[in-house]
Amino acid sequence: MKKLFFSFGLVMALLFAGQAFSCTSYLVTPGASVDGSSMISYAADSHIRFGELYYRPGGPQPEGAYFQAYYRGSHKPLAKIPQPEYTYTVVGFMNEKQVAIGETTFGGRSELFDTLGGIDYSSLMMVSMQRAATARDAIRIISELVDEYGYYSPGESFSIADPNEVWIMEIIGKGTDAVFDPEKGEYYNTRKGAVWVAKRIPDGYISAHANHARITGFPLEDDPSSISSKNLDRIHDPEISVVFAHDVISFARDQGYFEGAEHEFSFSDVYAPLNFAAARFCEARVWSMFRDVDQSMERYMDYAMGHDLEGERMPLYIKPERKLSVQDLIDFKRDYLQGTEYDMTRDIGAGPWGKPYRWRPLTWELDGKTYIHERTTATQQTGFSYIAQLRKDYPDPIGGITWFGVDDANLTVYVPMYAGIRRAPDAYAEGNGSILEYSDDAAFWIFNKVAHFVYLRYSIKLPDVRKVQNELESKFMAFVPAVDIAAKELYENDPELARDFITDFSVKMGNYTTERWEELFRFLMVKYIDGNIKKEKDGEFLTNEYGKYPIVEHPEYPEWWLRLIVETTGDKFLMPEED
């Protein structure tokens, strides 16, 4: 039976690997942001994920209340986890105390998937947000939950932040050693739990992770800045900047993964060994963001692109050359390696209209050789993404903002959703459509509708999208400071009225954005139907002198594309010269 469970775990991990290389997360500490806020980002990149804004109301919980955990990769029911007497309201993956979490899956050693585990990575995210008042609380809660229920997921990197601190936590299971309990009539895992490390990003620095484990070495418990899971009662000591599972090294030794001295131990190298795919599909996304804010990062290009796997690893965190804003993180979400020799719009795969997307699979074979498509931050299969902004100068319901967008981050609009809102906008709410059910007024389907129309002739249609995208996001960036001031003043006299106010604002902006995007779709359809372009000025289509018919243009293919046609077809399309 042990062999049966091990084989199932391996199959599950391999199946998940088919959906891997999804999600890109950025981490910005207060000292590295323009306004002193903590920021993290998250992208739910998945071919099966629907874009919606989760809303979990908190408050006193009735006796017997529980959280039903499901495996996010299949929706398999897992453990029923009793709720505490009181939970916090959660909007997306940020709670009313301004604690936020994001993740990327690194997979790691497939044999460490615990097939008997009771809680997966997404349930850890939601349950920790329902219970954590600080980022450190979230780390403690995650540790306790996997110890109690077992970890049913591949390896994960978590971004965890509150208004004062930003942490990265990396975790992987211990596999399955199944033993039958005749009294209960079921199997249990003698290895239940997980191994993990959490590191605080020093203030003034930034970090990132993108589907590969990035924590290497760390100080051990003989260092005053570090504690193991046996001493979680000390986790709120401000001097503590590293926390780790007490058996993270000894377990690796027991499994034959590591034989060196403790100070030589590297979590990433032991539990998620680097290979070409981990570099090119994952580390390259981190490098592309780092190089934008630190010129010295150019020296890591060969490493990030998988050409120098034995070379120096990129640092876990860097000090940026400038302080970052929400808009910077939004821009990073739209990265497709532009400005590098790997720019997705510049090779033949982009087609004549410079499309920075490649449809899956990522790897393909030709003449006995394996080739790749680039995996960039901007990708078509995003369900939703967000920038979490956490601000200590405001009351928690006002200080936390989730800048939320659905579908492809490159072609979405990020709308501010305050932490203290009482409901999600109808256009983004759970239940309004699904990945298998089209809804005319669901933001996810409307943004997908625009994106897929733009994909057909990307470079020609993109300027129209950018115009409306900038119109909306610029408004939100201008509105938020004014809303902050009004909401804070209201909160001082009537906190509940302040929550009503920010709810009205966030809901109206979300629904308005969706309506405006539907207008954009109609405009694009009229302007570009059948490969033509109708001339327009300031959104009004121009007509002939009789005011009846549009003035139509026919954009020509670029010369290099026409030459390619001739090179590959010879004289097939050549018109004969007339006498």
For 153-221, give the DSSP string.
Answer: SSEEEEEEE-SS-EEEEEEEE----EEEETTTTEEEETT-SEEEEEEEPPTT-EEEESSS--------T
Instruction: Determine the pLDDT at residue 447.
Output: 98
Cis upstream peptide for 361 (omega within 30°): yes
Provide mean pLDDT across the span 254-262.
97
Q: Record the tokens describing residue 190, joined without a space.
A: 């003698």
Residues 54/104, Cβ–Cβ less than 8 Å: no
Q: In this structure, what is the dihedral angle of CA atoms 282, 284, 290, 292, given to the nearest 10 degrees? A: -130
Q: Which helix (H) or strand (E) holds 268?
A: helix 267-271
Residue 351 DSSP code: T
Q: Which residue has the tokens 């110890």?
A: 147
* Residues in CB range of 265: below 8 A, 6 or more apart: 217, 248, 249, 252, 258
Q: Which residue has the tokens 């497939």?
A: 110
- pLDDT category at 475 given cuts 50, 70, 90 is very high
Residue 280 DSSP code: I
- pLDDT category at 540 given cuts 50, 70, 90 is very high
Q: How far is CA 268 from the centre of its chain?
A: 20
- Pairing relation of β-strands 369-372 and 59-60? unpaired
Give 68: exposed, middle or buried? Use CB within 10 Å, 0-12, 13-18, 19+: exposed
The 10 Å Cβ neighbour count of residue 516 is 14
Range in 6-10, 322-326, 519-523, 557-561 the model is least confident about? 6-10
Q: Show me where the domains of the chain are located.
A: 2-372, 394-431+441-531, 536-569
pLDDT in tens, 311-344: 899 999 999 999 999 999 999 999 999 999 999 9
Q: Record the tokens describing residue 248, joined without a space.
A: 């993270």
In this structure, which amino acid lies at residue 551?
Answer: I
Residues 325/476, Cβ–Cβ less than 8 Å: no
- In the predicted structure, residue 440 carries a pLDDT above the cut 90: yes
- pLDDT category at 160 given cuts 50, 70, 90 is very high
Q: Which residue has the tokens 């109808």?
A: 426
Q: How far is CA 56 from the centre of its chain?
A: 20
Instruction: Determine the pLDDT at residue 579.
Output: 74
Provide mean pLDDT across the span 414-443.
98
Q: How far is CA 387 from the centre of its chain?
A: 9
Angle between helices 443-456 and 458-493 (to 10 degrees): 150
Give 144: exposed, middle or buried? Use CB within 10 Å, 0-12, 13-18, 19+: middle
In this structure, which amino acid lies at residue 332?
Answer: F
| Start-end of H helices in 275-383 | 276-277, 284-293, 301-304, 326-333
Residues 163/120, Cβ–Cβ less than 8 Å: no
What is the rounded CA–CA span in Å between residue 209 and residue 315? 11
pLDDT in tens, 163-201: 999 999 999 999 999 999 998 898 989 999 999 999 999
Give just the sign of the alpha carbon dihedral 403, 408, 212, 349.
negative
pLDDT in tens, 19-50: 445 689 999 999 999 999 999 999 999 999 99
Instruction: Determine the pLDDT at residue 17.
Output: 39
- In the predicted structure, residue 7 carries a pLDDT above the cut 90: no
Percent of the chain with pLDDT over 90: 94
**Three-state SS at 29:** coil
What is the rounded CA–CA span in Å between residue 348 and residue 79? 49
* Buried/exposed code over 526-554 (b: 16+ C-beta within 10 A; e: otherwise): ebbeeeebbeeeeeeeeeeeeeeebeeee
Provide mean pLDDT across the span 446-456.
98
Residue 573 DSSP code: T
- In the predicted structure, residue 81 carries a pLDDT above the cut 50: yes
- In the predicted structure, residue 249 carries a pLDDT above the cut 70: yes
What is the rounded CA–CA span in Å between residue 151 and residue 195? 10
* Residues in CB range of 295: below 8 A, 6 or more apart: 321
Instruction: Determine the pLDDT at residue 578.
Output: 84
Instruction: Determine the pLDDT at residue 507.
Output: 98
Residues 4/64, Cβ–Cβ less than 8 Å: no
pLDDT in tens, 280-293: 999 999 999 999 99
**Three-state SS at 528:** helix
Residues 171/184, Cβ–Cβ less than 8 Å: no
| E strand intervals along 428-578 | 533-534, 536-537, 540-541, 552-553
Provide mean pLDDT across the span 478-498.
98
What are the residues facing 416 on neighbouring strands? Answer: 403
- In the predicted structure, residue 11 carries a pLDDT above the cut 60: no
Mean pLDDT estimate for the chain = 95
